[in-house]
Each structure stands twice: as structure tokens, then as C-alpha cells.
Amino acid sequence: MSDQPDAFYLPAGDDVYEPTIATESPWDSSAQHGGPPTALLAHVIDATVGPEMRLARISVDFLVPIPRRPARIEVTTLRPGRQVRLTEAHLVVDEKTAVTARTWHIATGPTPPAETERVPPPPIPQKPDEWHSLLGMNDWGYGQAIEWRFIRGGHGPSGFAEVWTRVRIPLIAGQKMTGLARTLIVADAANGLSATLPIQDWLSIPPTMTTTLLRHPDGEWVHLACRTHLADDGLGVTHATVSDPDGRIGDVNQPLLIRER
């Protein structure tokens, strides 16, 4: 992308953010891809929680196609606590809630007397791919704002994809990029990456997404290993394992509406 915006979002006042072209959905240039709003909601929620707690799960409900217009974020604590905390946030556009997120934060503590083996994913390929071109689609903001390096998949519908990603721009202009934001910006791409049918002809819509995190990534690169399964009644589900070069970060789950365009 030769002329990248400064970030996915520009601050536009108290709790208001203006989306840039980098949030653009491949299906509607006036709408946002689900990844950036998910990361934005998590970022704003995270700022209301002390450093002694870490986000362990986020569930996001996409109530309508997300307009690519300025949005206000409203945050409410549903279950305060020192060990666990449940928080809800709404992305409000034109006085209507477009996205709702609920997060569980869990307090960090001493290292347990046991260790989970970290199995690193395959090495990062040397040559980047242009996912938007591989899909046979015109350039679109979200696809260009991320560097994609496929190990498997990406060249057509297969039901499985394995890809390294690197987010090219900050989530919010003027703010340092976090590992949490890197992970959530790409998490909602899992169903598109692992599509089982040609996405030019078939819709694969996740009305909700849940990401459960073991930890936040170290470094710039996030790896997704995604698989989509279809039922015989027009539904599907995508699961993705998320990793960094050191090993597993967490898991993504998306139920799907599958329909011919």
C-alpha cells in the first residue's frame, strides 16, 4: 500500500474515533471490517482496567454492518473485582450501537509450578503476499493495511489457511501499538482466510466472534492457523489458533451464516 493512512483510527474528541480507509471492508467501502473495531473496543476497555489484570477473553457482537463514520465508545463495568472483572463496551455510530463487546480480565499472579510447552509455528516466509489480489478482488483498505505471508491457503477456497500477519500501521494515531491490538485486528479475518467457497460468490458472515487469550504476542508478527467447517443447513464455524514466533497465543471462534450472493 503506497499511501497508507496514519492509523486505523484518528482521535476525534472524548471517546470518539474516526475510522480511516484502513478499516475498509472488502464487501462495502462505506463499512468497516470487524477486526479494527474489535481491537479498538478492547483497547478502550483495557485503559479502564489496572495493570495488575490482563484481558483473557473478548466476545464481540456485530449488530449491523459497521459504518465507516466517527464512532463513540461507551464503557460499563458489569462485574467489578480484584481477581476477575467483566466489562461491556458499545461502539455507537449515529446514535445507534453497531458493535458490542464483553471482556473478562483476570488478575495476574505468581508463576505456577508447571510449564506449558511452547511449540513455535512454521517460520515466516520471506516473500509477502497481497491477500486482496489473491482473492481476485480490488484493493481494499483493511487488506492492504496488513502484511500477509501465507504458508498454506490464500490462493482460493480450501477450508484451511495458515498465514503470518504483520499490522503495518498503529491502531490509533499517535499511540503505541500493543500486542493485544495486533492480535485482535487480524483475529476476525479467520473466516475469510479459510473460506471453503469462493468469496466472490458466497457470503461467509460471522455475526459474533470470541477470542480467548493465553497471553499477548511478543513482536510484530501474529500467526493464524484457520479452519472453516460447513453444515448442511447453511451454517458454519471457523476456528483459528493464534500464535507468535514463540508459540500459542490463544484461540478464535466464529459461527457463520453461509449464503450464495
3-class secondary-structure state, position 30: coil
Do residues 143 and 4 lie in contact, with contact meaning Cβ atoms separated by under 8 Å? no
For the segment 50-68, the average pLDDT, to the nearest whole number, is: 97
Is residue 3 in some structural domain?
Answer: no
| Domain tally, the chain | 1
Has residue 178 been placed in a domain? yes
User: How far is Cα 116 from Cα 49, in angstroms, rounded to an integer?
Assistant: 27
Task: Annotate 210-230 with b (16+ C-beta within 10 A) or e (fewer).
Answer: bbbbebbbeebbbbbbbbbeb
Tell me whether residue 18 is in a domain: yes
Q: Which three cell numbers stand for residue 183?
A: 492480535
- The reply to whether 117 falls in a domain is no
The whole-angstrom separation of Cα 62 and Cα 64 is 6
The pTM score is 0.94
| pLDDT at residue 189 greater than cutoff 90 | yes
pLDDT tens readout for residues 8-57: 999 999 999 999 999 999 888 999 999 999 999 999 999 999 999 999 99
Domain that holds residue 237: 9-108+125-260
Asked if the structure places residue 1 within a domain, the reply is no
| Residue 123 pLDDT level (bands cut at 50, 70, 90) | very high
Say which CATH number the domain at 23 has.
2.40.160.210
75 in any annotated domain: yes
Question: Could you tell me if residue 116 is inside a domain?
Answer: no
